[in-house]
Amino acid sequence: MDAQVLKILSDLKAKKYAPVYFLQGEESYFIDLIANYIEANVLSDAEKGFNQVVVYGKDASMATIVTHARRFPMMAERQVVIVKEAQDIPDINNEGGAKLLLNYLQQPVPSTVLVFAHKNKSLDKRKELGKNIEKLSVSITTKKMYDNQLPDFVASYAKQKQVNIDDRAIQVFCEYIGNDLHRLTNEFDKLLIGEIPPTGLTAEHVMMQVGISKEYNIFELQKAILTRNTLQAARIVNYFEKNTKKNPAIPIVAFLFSFFSKLLAATAATDKSDKGLVSALKISPYAAKDYVNALRTFSTDKIMQSISFIKEADLKLKGVDTGSADEGQILRELVYKLIG
């Protein structure tokens, strides 16, 4: 987890509160993690009735928010004001609204904890508010995690939940769920509802719990394509065709496109070792071997041709020049082209 996020959470747990928190950026998970902790823990349940205000950006002007913040607590040491979806505050990017907030930041009310949850974007640093927000508040700017950062995040989250998880299970989990941290942690929490093996979470347990067949899944299909195992690839496509609700073709094609796009980038990497590709492609260390092996069997021309085949299949799945073929037939044709 981001060191700055951990520091903020550590201070909050030690009851060291700042007057203003400005949480912004592309990754909403960390923004919600801090804002939700403040909402749940800074005030007691008895204090929240009079001293905790939660507003949504689209419903509140900066003047309204600052008015809430300047109020003094009632029968409590402090009050909490949380602005959710702060990116939607109508005048946050206007000179008037920005000036109101800057004036407040210069002299915040010590007994108020004011929190802005500004999601999916950051303030414009060319403007005065954007330039000064980090100096005048406790601020984070979050970014989406790269694929190569996900295994450490999952391992850390598992440790936090006091659950053992092996490396292959982490790889399957990251590849299947992707870098949406909200979904990643929600799916992990679902795993903990069932019985966990004494040795901890294994790849087989993860596959079973999230509904992935051990033999017939996107990882095994990719492996069959890269090793040109036509028979195994056909078996997997047959399974997908019979279970289209659980295995829709469009995400499968998107998965293959992501792999081959990164594989094309790998051809230009100076260092084509596992470690070099992890750094160059921002991929999981557990996935690096797939790329190293694929580079041995797929030429640059073949990779580019494969990407072309995948784009063509994607268009067909979205209704362009489909003809009479269904999604199973489109996927089957794509796989054979990739292997051929």
Please say whether the dihedral angle defined by the alpha carbons of residues 9, 14, 15 and 19, taken in this order, is positive or negative: negative
Question: Quick one: pLDDT at residue 169?
Answer: 86
Residues 162 and 164: their CA atoms lie apart, in Å, by 7
Question: Quick one: pLDDT at residue 171?
Answer: 83
**Which CATH architecture does the domain made up of 3-142 adopt?**
3-Layer(aba) Sandwich (3.40)
* Token digits of residue 163: 């659950």
The DSSP element (H or E) to which 53 belongs, if any, is: strand 52-56
- Rg of the Cα atoms in the chain: 25
Mapped onto helix, strand or coil, the DSSP state of residue 113 is: strand
Same CATH topology for 3-142 and 147-209?
Answer: no
Residues 275 and 253: their CA atoms lie apart, in Å, by 27
What residue ranges do the domains of the chain occupy?
3-142, 147-209, 218-339
Residues 303 and 282: their CA atoms lie apart, in Å, by 19
Reduced 3-state DSSP string for 15-42: CCCCCEEEEEECCHHHHHHHHHHHHHHC
pTM over 0.85: no
**Which CATH architecture does the domain made up of 218-339 adopt?**
Up-down Bundle (1.20)
The position carrying tokens 């362009």 is: 320
* CATH code for residues 147-209: 1.10.8.60
The rounded average pLDDT for each run of 10 residues, N- to C-terminus, in the chain (340 residues) is 88 97 96 97 95 96 97 95 97 94 97 97 94 95 87 90 88 82 90 81 81 78 92 91 82 90 93 90 84 92 95 88 79 92
Question: Quick one: pLDDT at residue 286?
Answer: 78
